[in-house]
Amino acid sequence: MFIRIFIYKIKELSRKYWLVGWNFIFPLVLATAFFLGFGNLIKEDPDTFQTLEVGYVNELDESAGFDQVLEELSEENDEGTTVLSLHTYSSKDDAVKAMNNGDIKGFYLESEDGIETIIVSNGYDSTIMNEIVREYDNYTDVITQIAKDHPEKVADAIDAITSENSFISEHNFGNETSQYIQYFYALLAMTSLFSSWISTNMLEGICANMSEQGKRVECAPTPKFMSITAGLLAGVLLQIVSNIIVVIYIQYILGINLGVPMGTMILLCTIGSALGISTGTLMGSVIRNPRLLVTVPLFFTMTCSFFSGLMWGQIKQIIQYNCPIINKINPAALLTNAMYVRSTYGATAEFHQDITIMCLMIAGCIIVASIFLRRRKYVSL
Query: What are the pLDDT digits (tens) for 221-266?
Result: 667 678 778 888 888 999 999 999 999 999 899 888 888 889 999 9
Of 170, 191, 216, which residue constitutes the final position of a domain? 170
Domain that holds residue 185: 2-44+177-374
Q: Which amino acid is at 348?
A: T
pLDDT value at 361 more than 80:
yes
Q: What is the pLDDT of residues 54-82, one digit of tens each?
A: 888 888 766 667 777 788 788 776 555 67
Tell whether 96 and 122 lie within a shared domain.
yes
User: How many C-beta neighbours within 10 Å does residue 240 have?
Assistant: 19
- How many helices and strands in the chain, by DSSP H and E? 18, 4
Tell whether 99 and 182 lie within a shared domain.
no
**Residue 307 covered by a domain:** yes
Backbone angles phi, psi at 45, to 5 degrees: -65, 125
**Residue 379 covered by a domain:** no
Tell whether 129 and 270 lie within a shared domain.
no
Tell whether 246 and 118 lie within a shared domain.
no
How many CA atoms, within 13 angstroms, populate the side-chain half-sphere of residue 146? 15
**Residue 380 covered by a domain:** no
Tell whether 310 and 199 lie within a shared domain.
yes
Of 170, 190, 220, which residue constitutes the final position of a domain? 170
**Residue 245 covered by a domain:** yes
Alpha helices in 172-223 (DSSP H): 182-193, 196-204, 212-219
Tell whether 256 and 217 lie within a shared domain.
yes
What pLDDT does residue 214 have? 56
What pLDDT does residue 151 have? 73
Residue 229 parent element (H or E):
helix 224-248
Tell whether 35 and 58 lie within a shared domain.
no
Tell whether 187 and 268 lie within a shared domain.
yes
Tell whether 342 and 217 lie within a shared domain.
yes
Alpha helices in 101-173 (DSSP H): 124-149, 154-164, 166-170
Q: Which amino acid is at 232?
A: L
**Residue 94 covered by a domain:** yes
Does this model's pTM top 0.85? My answer is no
Tell whether 337 and 360 lie within a shared domain.
yes
**Residue 321 covered by a domain:** yes
**Residue 88 covered by a domain:** yes
What pLDDT does residue 103 have? 85
Q: What is the tally of structural domains in the chain?
A: 2
Rounded to a whole number of angstroms, the CA Rg of the chain reads 29
- Single out the residue of 20, 357, 52, 13 nearest to residue 204, CA to CA: 13
Tell whether 347 and 234 lie within a shared domain.
yes
**Residue 381 covered by a domain:** no
Alpha-carbon gap, residue 154 to 145, rounded angstroms: 9
Q: What is the pLDDT of residues 165-179, one digit of tens each?
A: 444 444 444 455 667
Rounded to whole angstroms, what are the CA distances from 273 to 22, 301, 304, 353, 363? 14, 12, 15, 18, 13
Of 170, 189, 204, which residue constitutes the final position of a domain? 170
SS3 at position 377: coil
Who's near 380: CB < 8 A, 6+ residues apart? none
Alpha-carbon gap, residue 42 to 27, rounded angstroms: 19
CATH no. for residue 92? Answer: 3.40.190
Tell whether 217 and 366 lie within a shared domain.
yes
How many CA atoms, within 13 angstroms, populate the side-chain half-sphere of residue 21? 3
The lowest-confidence range among 41-45, 195-199, 312-316, 344-348 is 41-45
